[in-house]
Chains A and B, each alone.
Chain A
Amino acid sequence: MKITEELVDYVAILSRLKPDEEERARITAELEKIVSYMDVLNALDTEGIEPLSHVFPVKNVLREDAVEPSFLREELLKNAPVGDEEAFLVPKAVE
């Protein structure tokens, strides 16, 4: 299948990626080659075959709800690139 730069732009927006001009051209060509190869699957007759997500029949796994200790907030916030004592900080998103 033909992959256009417009399609790559659209998929990049969905992926929260922003390739530059050079990367965009390279990725377009690479994806076209890879996706065209994926098309060999069309030769496989899958009429009436149920898609298989998980190989083993593991159903919803339930357990009794139990209160267990949570991580300490300050421990988790230590990994934040930008944070204060109680929150992850990001640029203002609503006016």
Chain B
Amino acid sequence: MDMELTRLTALELGAALKKGEASPADAIAAAQERISACQDTNNAFITPASPSPAPIGDGPLAGVPMALKDNICTKGVQTSCASRILGGFIPPYNATIVERLSAAGSVSMGKLNMDEFAMGSTSETSFYGPTRNPWDLSRIPGGSSGGSAAAVAAGEVWYAIGSDTGGSIRQPAAYCGVTGMKPTYGTVSRYGLIAYASSLDQMGPIARSAADCAAVLDIMQGRDPRDGTSLEGHYGGLLPSLTGDVRGLKIGVPADCFGQGLDSEVRKAVLAVAHVLKSRGALVEEFSLPIMEYVVPAYYIIACAEASSNLSRFDGVKYGWRSPKYEDLSGLYARTRTEGFGSEVKRRILLGTFVLSTGYYDAYYKKALQAKAVITKAYDEAFQKYDVLLTPTTPTTAPKLGESLGDPLKMYLSDIYTVPVNLAGLPGISIPCGFDSQGLPIGAQLIGPPLGDGIILNAAHAFQQETEYHKKAPAEKGGVSL
């Protein structure tokens, strides 16, 4: 029974639990068995939990085991951001989404590994050691929500919550062959998400299908008075709206996202998505989006500027870790921060402080905010013509461990397809769309207009009605056996 349970989607497990085909205890036991089998090799978890089974309540995901990225505050459970500086931090409150998921009957299997403070594209910058890709343990799972994607791919949980500031849900989902979605900015409360770049951060699901993602978003989304940027709106109903009908849907394919730097196998697999959707009645057209060369610099300037401000709160006084080596108050701050943060986090704090400093503010920070206006306008114009945009999620499939860290700039450039979606506040989903010749998963990204979350979910669902890529498990490709 357990072997079969871990193969189900979250919605299938939810239905099996309702029908009594499996008990809540069976589901937890199946998850625990997988976590025990995988943790030593893939290191997806920082803090695994041992939940107790409870009676199944209402809702399609009630009783379904899941897990949370370790930058999401959980009352009474360590929330480390995979950083030494937050070691031992036990939040006295839950993030809003934790309350919402819990009210919908979710069962948390614990806290997932990530890049330190969500800064990275590899999940190697974690103070708790790197997470590995279940498809090939010599490779990274992507990042920063690498633990979330690896845990779902390895069958340890049925869905996981990640956060996405510049691609941190979509990129690891692509590398791990699972479906991951960043919803429209402002639709999911950020209360209790430890901030990286507040104007870009948004949490969302990583799961085995677009339908699972819709079900999770129906729980997560909603206005929250505790997050001033959360939007008023009509939430819920994404799952029942998935018809798979894409007749007449206008799909724009930006030629600028298929040029230099894109791996040819990735290009082929992503363009095949357009053909599948076309076969179901969608209209596909190529167009020009001539802003792509500016998205990475604009993103890193803005994200690092906000990070340098947000991370000033970590000073060894109020929570977390304090260096023992200090003589006075300013020494306490500097020693704690220098020893408590890893090198990628320090690099971004320094870069962010630089672009905000007197004399450089206009040339870098202000310029980046102007570029953001130009980029956002380019997407607005694209969405006057198209309902959905199709791009690759990443230029390549998952690199080997250690390949990316030596050259930070190269790592930043690999975020080119995902970061503009955050800059413009748009919804974006990565769906599995094939494998390269080494058997590694390829992801395609569908981007929607603001609040067009349902549109891209439905297009993704349509694709998954026609294809089986999202159902593949790593064992079939020589990864961790499922």
The judgment on whether A and B are partners is yes
A12 vs B350: C-alpha distance in the bound complex, in angstroms? 6
A-side contacts of B320, CB under 8 Å: 79, 81
| Known pairs A38-B300, A71-B93; A49 contacts B373 (CB<8 A) | yes
| Nearest A residue (CB) for B312 | A16
CB closest chain-B residue, reference A12: B350
Q: Is B328 on the interface with A (CB-CB < 8 A)?
A: yes
Q: Taking A18-B338, A41-B298, A76-B92 as contacts, is the C-beta distance between A56 and B329 under 8 angstroms?
A: no
Knowing A15-B349, A19-B346, say if A46 contacts B374 (CB, 8 Å). Answer: yes
| B335 at interface, CB cutoff 8 A | yes
A11/B354 in contact, CB under 8 A: yes
Contacts A44-B371, A80-B318, A81-B316 given; does A31 touch B199 at CB 8 Å: no
Please tell me if A17 contacts chain B, counting CB pairs below 8 Å: yes
CB-based contact A63/B225 at 8 Å: yes
A44-83 vs B, Cβ < 8 Å mask (1 yes, 0 no): 1010011111111010010100000001000110111110
* Contact A53:B315 (CB < 8 A) given known A38-B301, A40-B297, A91-B327: no
A1 to chain B, nearest CB (A): 8
The residue that A91 contacts in the complex, of B228, B329, B337, B408, with Cβ under 8 A, is: B329
- Residue B293 is within 8 A (CB to CB) of chain A in the complex: yes
CA gap between A27 and B346 in the complex, in Å: 9
**Is B90 part of the binding interface, using a Cβ–Cβ cutoff of 8 Å?**
yes
Contact with B along A20-50 (1 / 0, CB 8 A): 0001000100110111011111111010011
Interchain CB contact under 8 A, A55 and B409? no
**Contact present for A33 and B367 (CB under 8 Å):** no
Contact B338–A17 (Cβ < 8 Å): yes
Nearest Cβ on chain A to B247's Cβ, whole angstroms: 30
Interface size on A, residues (CB 8 A): 51
> Within 8 Å of chain A (Cβ to Cβ): is B368?
yes
In the bound complex, residues from chain B placing their C-beta under 8 Å from that of A15 are 308, 337, 346, 349-350, 353
Nearest-Cβ distance from residue B33 to partner chain A, whole angstroms: 34
Contact B371 A41 (CB under 8 A): yes
Interface string of B360-383 (1 = CB under 8 A from A): 000010111111111010000000
Report A-chain residues with C-beta under 8 Å of the C-beta of B432.
none
Q: How large is the interface on B (under 10, 10 to 19, 20 to 34, 35 or more residues)?
A: 35 or more
- Which of A14, A16, A82 touches B357 (beta carbons < 8 Å)? A14
Is there an interface contact between A88 and B318, defined as CB atoms closer than 8 Å? Answer: yes
The reply to whether B318 and A53 form a contact with Cβ atoms under 8 Å apart is: no
Task: Provide the bound-state CA to CA distance between A18 and B326, in Å.
Answer: 12
Contact A78 B90 (CB under 8 A): yes
A54 touching B199 in the complex, CB below 8 Å, given contacts A17-B349, A18-B334, A75-B92:
yes
Q: Shortest distance in angstroms between A57's beta carbon and chain B's nearest beta carbon?
A: 11
Query: Measured between alpha carbons, how far is A52 from B370 in the docked complex, in Å?
Result: 6
Chain B 336-363, CB-CB to A under 8 Å as 1, else 0, gives: 0110010100110111011101000000
Asked if B186 is at the interface (CB within 8 A of a chain A CB), the reply is: yes
A22 nearest CB across to chain B (Å): 11
Cβ contact of A58, chosen from B225, B231, B374, cutoff 8 A? B231
Structural contact, B338 and A34, CB atoms closer than 8 A: no
B90 neighbours in A (Cβ, 8 Å): 78-79
Question: Is the pair A11, B350 in contact by a Cβ cutoff of 8 Å?
Answer: yes
- What are 5 A-B pairs at a CB distance below 8 A? A31-B351, A55-B450, A56-B229, A58-B231, A81-B320
Residues of chain A whose beta carbon lies under 8 Å from any beta carbon of chain B: 7-8, 10-12, 14-19, 23, 27, 30-31, 33-35, 37-44, 46, 49-56, 58, 61, 63, 71, 75-76, 78-82, 88, 90-93
Given contacts A41-B371, A56-B231, A91-B328, 13 further A-B contacts (CB under 8 A): A15-B353, A17-B346, A31-B350, A35-B351, A38-B297, A44-B367, A46-B371, A46-B373, A49-B374, A52-B370, A56-B425, A58-B228, A80-B317
